[in-house]
Structure 1
Amino acid sequence: MITLRKEAVQYLEAQRTGTPYYKVSPQEARAMRTVTQWQSAHKPKLASIEDHKITVRNGEQITVRLYTPVLGKTLPVIVYYHGGGWVYGNLESVDAGCQLLADQAQAIVVSVDYRLAPEYPFPTPLHDAYDSLVWVHNHMEALGGDASRLSVAGDSAGGNLATVVAYLATALEGPSLHAQTLIYPVTNVDFSTVSYLAYGEDYGLDTQAMQWFSHHYTEKANFTNPLVSPLQLEEVRNMPKTFIIAAEADVLFDEGLSYAQKLKAAGVVVEHITMPGLIHSYFSKMNYFEEATIETVTKIAQFLK
């Protein structure tokens, strides 16, 4: 029997009072998930935080936010993709985590505001994610980044995008990556694992919610597409070293573990850790999980060194 941390219990109790986001429209869900600006004694002082418009394929533009801890020094670069089931989430939803990550890892963090489903279904979010990595790579010198220490990271659906981007970078002979960090990633759109049965209701990410997200992201025929479900990838031996962080009480626990095992079997350096007593989506929900987010960022920074 899992014992949840008190902050997880408090968060879940607060969520029970309202209508579940997966029972409203995506637009209404986004409004429900608006994030307030993080204010805390633990907020780091960075050299700069700047938003930039970048051009992706087909001439469209998206926004990226650059977090730079110090100026005048060549630094590692982490391209970060937010979570939200490909349907909601934005630069603000992971702002706190990205600030902490830039400070703790002493790295330039580039947070990507990729376009969202269902208005922009698969593969548009993935294309935006990959194109932003290419943009960062092509502007590495101007950013003050070290091309030999370029990594990708993301949480939940953002972890899904991060690892598929890492795969595409190898398959398309794109930017060379130092590492990938995946926080409770979606790796297989299949709702039948043991962790789905155990945590599919009242643990922060219900089975119904994942079905809602997945059907907004793409049609059912694509659920087994390796670019949607990277656990289905046949060739992963060229993937960068990998850090997978699991929440103990999470429907996605089993697929994250299976993905770690798949990579390890292919010879990839993998570290998989479990955050005990935590639930899906804890990362950057600073009103409840500031301590856990800081703990997670510290572990990521240690892995990337």
Structure 2
Amino acid sequence: MPLHPQVQAHLDRLAGSNFADLHDFTPEQVRQGMRLMTQALGPGEPVAGVQDRVIATDSGELAVRIYHPQPGPPRPVLVFFHGGGYVLGDLDTHDGLARALANRTGRVVVSVDYPMSPEHKYPAAINAGFAATKWVASHASEFGGDATDIAVAGDSAGGNLAAVVALMARDAGGPAIAHQVLIYPDLDFRRCNVSIREFAGKYGNISRPTQQWFMNHYLNTDDEKLMAHVSPLLAPGLEGLPPALIITAEYDALRDEGEEYGARLSAAGVPTTVIRYDGMIHEFLRWPFDDATRALGDIAAALSGAHTVP
């Protein structure tokens, strides 16, 4: 179907921003640009409580922001990793999405401020993400969370991180993860499928040179692109992973790899649901589109039955 009218109006507003060609700027310039764009979203939804903490993990101290949807007994937990190509984004840029996830799912959301590249290259971010998830499993009772029901989620690069954390937890024998929610995830650093090539520089997607810019900042060598903890789509075995919901968008350059990962998970016996949102683009959940509301409802429905006992 054509671009949704809400998406077209959004892209018209972005026209002339040079967003597709971020490789022409420094990481700090682009980070500042993302912060300015985020301000256009306005304040996020109110939640019952928000707590900023610095936690001590085996990967060092990490900042987290904990969102409580409502007071009461211990609630299931959603560990959330923000997007931004491992170069951009922070707790503030995805504050609105984290609040919406808490309210719609009824889970305590723990948003993780993992280290950014190029200051902290691979595998710093995934080590921090896994360490934060282990901390949540060990300390959930301290912030009103239920350690027997922990899910992981993330958008774009955060979806990559959520998928990798699920792999790491499986291979390490824990912590137990009830569900993984991968929102237009970045799962294949080979950058060779149809959507990544055909949509580059179009419909709000970054250009091919900017794709390389992000990878160059994140990785130490080109060989790392083929590693399972960089490109989960290339992991040799996906058996034993937690059930998954994968959200893709019709006009997103990352569409095909998300859908292919869903097919591989299903083939490995992992209960998996893939939902493509027609007429939508990358990052649509962060913007006030009708389909963002629908997607949040789909996430809540997927998580409503998730429960894992360690």
TM-score by length of 2: 0.92
* Code of the aligned partner of 1:52: R
Is 1:215 the equivalent of 2:216?
yes
1:79 Cα deviation from its structure 2 partner: 0.1
Moved more, 135-144 or 204-213: 204-213
Q: Which residue is equivalent to 1:300? A: 299
Mapping for residues 150-299 of structure 1, pairs under 5 Å? 150-206=150-206, 207-218=208-219, 219-284=221-286, 286=287, 289-299=288-298
Q: Does the residue aligned with 2:262 lie in a helix, a strand or coil? A: helix
**Distance in 2 of aligned mates of 1:251 and 1:108:** 31
Partner residue of 1:69? Answer: 69
1:36 corresponds to 2:30: no
Q: Please state if 1:3 is matched with 2:2.
A: yes
Distance 1:67 1:290, change over 3 A: farther
The answer for unaligned runs of 5 or more in structure 1 is none
Who is 2:56 aligned against?
55
**C-alpha distance in 2 between matches for 1:157 and 1:296:** 18
Alignment deviations for residues 213-265 of structure 1 (CA, whole Å, 9 cap, x no partner): 11111021100011000011112111000000001111111111110011100
Residues in 1 aligned to 2:272 and 2:209: alpha-carbon distance in whole angstroms = 30
Deviation for aligned residue 1:47: 1.6
In the other structure, the counterpart of 1:80 is 80
Aligned AA (2:5): K
CA distance in 1, matches of 2:231, 2:40: 33
Could you tell me which residue of structure 1 aligns to residue 308 of structure 2?
A: none
Provide TM-score, normalisation by structure 1: 0.93
Q: Is the 8 A contact 1:77 1:151 kept in 2?
A: yes
CA deviation digits over 1:60-96, x for unaligned, max 9?
Answer: 3221000001223121100000000000001111111
Cα offsets for 1:192-223 (capped at 9, x unmatched): 21112321122222233222111111021100
Which deviates further from its counterpart, 139-148 or 245-254? 139-148
| SS of 2:266 mapped into structure 1 | helix
The one-letter code of the counterpart of 1:139 is H
Deviations 1:4-24 (A, max 9, x none): 012222222333312332221
Offset, 1:115: 0.8
More displaced, 250-259 or 198-207? 198-207
CA positional deviation for 1:37: 7.5
CA distance in 2 between counterparts of 1:231 and 1:146 reads 30
* CA RMSD in angstroms, aligned pairs only: 1.5
Counterpart code for 1:36: Q
Distance change >3 Å, CA 122–CA 163, structure 1 → 2:
same
Give distance in 1, aligned partners of 2:276 and 2:126.
27
Cα distance in 2 between the residues matched to 1:296 and 1:22: 31
